Amino acid sequence: MKLTFKDLLSLAKIHLKDMSTLTNPDFRLEQAEFNKDENSWDIVVSYLVENTNRRTNPLNALTSEFLFLRMYKKIKINENGEIIGFYIFNNKE
């Protein structure tokens, strides 16, 4: 099965949809690399979640405190389109 970037993003959306409570979590394929030795894709996907750590201060409207946060996850997908790994994304790798 030959996977396209669109396929990779669709698979990630299916498996990560419950990670956000938002109606539109704005999933994005940020990075994709095919690993020939393992015959798998390493991808990084981002999506929005509600910022539940906001302070309840009326002055927050004047600060840079955001309503939403963008999360990044690294996922490994095999040649059959199955998720075989789910990792905390570390951009220092």
45 located within any domain: yes
93 located within any domain: no
Question: Range of 23's domain?
Answer: 5-52+66-88
17 located within any domain: yes
26-57 pLDDT, tens digit per residue, is 999 999 999 999 999 999 999 999 988 766 66
57 located within any domain: no
Number of structural domains the chain divides into: 1
15-24 pLDDT, tens digit per residue, is 999 999 999 9
59 located within any domain: no
**Concatenated DSSP letters of 5-32:** HHHHHHHHHHHHGGG--SS----EEEEE
27 located within any domain: yes
Torsion on CA atoms 81, 85, 91, 92, rounded to nearest 10? -130
10 located within any domain: yes
40 located within any domain: yes
